[in-house]
Amino acid sequence: MWLYLAAVLAGLYLLRRWHRERQMVPRLSEKYVLITGCDSGFGNLLARQLDARGLRVLAACLTETGAVQLRAATSPRLQTVLLDVTSSQSIAAATAWVRERVGDRGLWGLVNNAGIAVPTAPNEWLTKDDFVKVLNVNLVGLIEVTLSLLPLVKQARGRVVNVASVMGRISFFGGGYCISKFGVEAFSDSLRLEMRSFGVKVSMIEPGYFKTVITSTENLEKNFLSLWEKVPEETKASYGENYLKEFLLALRKMQKRCNSNLTLVTGCMEHALTSCYPRTRYSAGWDAKLLYIPLSYLPSALTDTIFSWSYPKPAQKA
């Protein structure tokens, strides 16, 4: 009896959530949304997706080439601005540009999508600057963009959507990427609590592995090999050439399993911006839902054992 009751209650809860999440924000054609990192990948696809739905998209691109190509693929409604999230001057100029366009309506949505994945390698191969390069884009830049535009988002009682990662839940490779995504999760949590009283909703997107420019095999292999060349000879000897070969082989295998359907991610972003009841967290991809997020709740000793199975073995074990 209790089992049936639990099943009924679970069914009612899921039905209620399904009904709430289908309720859309009215007058979307009047809403302004700024998206960072629109040259390619998730940001580029989301900009085109929201433009097709009639929203007023403000697409921030790093390069003029990316901006020109995006404008050519969208309606005249979409506007572009050049933005380097590591430059305070660039952020200030983009903020002033956004303020001129949204006026008294404020900024309905801010999507912090800009990010990089390299340098990535075993931590011992990296320098402080290697970590800082990634953190400046993925975390510090995200924070500064958010703080600069937050008054406009509060004015519209709008949304902040931060792109984190399943690697913000569980970390099994070195470099600044996982660290930055853990930081995005922490910043988003604190911001969400602070903004509740202002009517601003904050959501996080936690994608699994997807095929994008920053995660391409060519990009990651080039990064990995260039870092290996800079590693001191003593360190190289401790890892061995075979470690490098095995790591590159594992990288290629991982790329073959990457999901090429980017709409699984941009669909979550769109829902976070257009639903009356957006989720706090969106997991995108079956690897995120069924593997990485469940693993993040297991004891560290167990996850260490699982991930170590796929790790290359060094020439000299400590």
**Domain range annotation of the chain:** 26-209+260-300
| Mean predicted confidence (pLDDT) in 21-41 | 91
Residue with tokens 């089992």: 3
Q: What is the reported pLDDT for 318?
A: 46
Q: What is the reported pLDDT for 104?
A: 93
- Please confirm, yes or no, whether 177 is among the known catalytic residues: yes
Question: What would the two tokens of residue 185 be?
Answer: 């999760």
Look up residue 45 and give its amino acid: L
Q: In which element (H, E) is residue 174 found?
A: none
Question: What would the two tokens of residue 1 be?
Answer: 């009896």
Q: In which element (H, E) is residue 97 found?
A: helix 88-102
Indicate the pTM of the whole model. Answer: 0.91
Q: Using 50, 70 and 90 to split pLDDT, how confident is the model at 213?
A: low
Is the pLDDT at 18 greater than 50? The verdict is: yes
Which tops the pLDDT comparison, 96 or 258? 96
Is residue 50 within 8 Å of 105, Cβ to Cβ?
no
Q: What is the reported pLDDT for 313?
A: 81
Q: Using 50, 70 and 90 to split pLDDT, how confident is the model at 222?
A: confident
Provide the 3-class DSSP secondary structure of residue 207: strand
Q: Using 50, 70 and 90 to split pLDDT, how confident is the model at 57?
A: very high
Q: Using 50, 70 and 90 to split pLDDT, how confident is the model at 216?
A: low
Which tops the pLDDT comparison, 305 or 147? 147
Q: Which CATH architecture has domain 26-209+260-300?
A: 3-Layer(aba) Sandwich (3.40)
Residue with tokens 């796929």: 310
pLDDT digits (tens, 9 = 90+) for 239-287: 888 888 888 887 787 777 788 899 999 999 999 999 999 999 999 999 9
Q: Which of 32, 177, 243, 292 is catalytic?
A: 177
pLDDT digits (tens, 9 = 90+) for 127-139: 999 999 999 999 9
Which tops the pLDDT comparison, 245 or 159? 159
| Mean predicted confidence (pLDDT) in 200-220 | 83
Indicate the DSSP class of residue 230: H
- Average of per-residue pLDDT values in the chain: 91
Give the span between the Cα atoms of 239 and 177, in whole angstroms: 22
